[in-house]
Amino acid sequence: MIMTDAGDTARFALITERHRRELQVHCYRMLANYEDAQDMTQETLLRAWNKRDSFRGHATLRTWLYRIATNACLDFLDKRNDRTPVPSGLADSGSELPYLQPYPDRMLPEDPQESVVARETIELAFIVAVQHLPPRQRAVFVLRDVLGWPASKAADALELTVASVTSALQRARVTMRERLPDRRLDWRSPATHELSNDERGVVRSYIDAHERNDLDGLISLLRDDLRFTMLPGSGTVIRTAKDAVDGWLSGGLFQRGHDDWRGITTTVNRMPAAVLYLRAPDDPEYRLFAIAVLHIADGKIVELTGFDVTDKPWLDLPPTL
């Protein structure tokens, strides 16, 4: 694929651009950070242009681009882990990933089945679990178990032996089973991304409890063993509803019973979420405060991950109401 003139450049951009969204999701699974995934997707397309003469058509263009994207992410992880290493005992220490960001559903590929975007492989719990794999083991797992590549194809992309890929995948599966013990292990079968009536009802009740300053109503929505994290920040994981509520009260929320909240329902990472706005006493407008991403089971919130989204324009949230 030798391209030199302006027409070739435009044609190359056209045929690679159609893969941008699925490549970005792939980079997000590898990196857990939307902004980094954007950067690495752009880096992938730049590397592809610079290496265009090496594309001989032995593999599909899509496979070639995924190979470049995977290695771009591995190069990035080498640098990021040197700068901000993830502790080996992350889960046991009660810390969360400080660089985790939500992924806007509007930026997902339009055809979930064609691009292998199953609900389970974009949910926060899955993304966090994958981050506990060493980088090359992570790449093997995503290529093999998420994208469904054969071992020989993954080995070629990562310049490993088939035996090394097989061994890495076995170790990765053990870790993923430990991190996601209640999840099915066939992530290549796309699941629906529509919210259930149960999920919609819980999100509406969660927002309503804020707007009415109904702390008891909010508590009634939380399962006792709630897992709560607020990012960015210390990333400390709170593991009971009582501790979460105590933290909110000590932080001044719901303390006086007259906080002025508004909220809207949305989805990120194919999960139900509530966007919360708070109005100060002398402010005529409600200002964007945070987004709460909820994992709901049997009518209760079992995981609540809060994100400060005031400087995240890519989420396309109105700054005021």
Instruction: Assign 80 a pLDDT band (cuts: 50, 70, 90).
Output: confident
Residue 157 · residue 150 · CB < 8 Å: no
**Cα–Cα–Cα angle for 100, 106, 108, nearest 5°?**
70
pLDDT of residue 2: 45
pLDDT of residue 183: 65
pLDDT of residue 55: 78
Cα 73 from Cα 87, distance rounded (Å): 20
Decide the pairing of beta strands 287-297 and 260-268: unpaired
DSSP-derived 3-state class of residue 291? strand
Reported as a single tens digit per residue, the pLDDT across 180-217 is 877 655 655 555 557 889 999 999 999 999 999 999 99
Cα 13 from Cα 241, distance rounded (Å): 50
Cα 295 from Cα 304, distance rounded (Å): 7
- Measured distance between the N- and C-terminal CA atoms of the chain, rounded to whole angstroms: 51
Cα 120 from Cα 29, distance rounded (Å): 11
Asked whether the predicted pLDDT for residue 257 surpasses 80, the reply is no
pLDDT of residue 202: 97
Global confidence as pTM: 0.88
For the chain, list the domains and their CATH numbers.
Answer: 6-179 (1.20.140.160), 197-315 (3.10.450.50)
Cβ partners under 8 Å of residue 301, min gap 6 = 202, 206, 221, 222, 223, 226, 294, 295
What's the mean pLDDT in 288-294?
96
Per-chain mean pLDDT for the chain: 86
Higher pLDDT, 211 or 109: 211
Residue 257 burial class via C-beta count within 10 angstroms: exposed 0-12, middle 13-18, buried 19 and up: exposed
DSSP-derived 3-state class of residue 68? helix
pLDDT of residue 98: 82
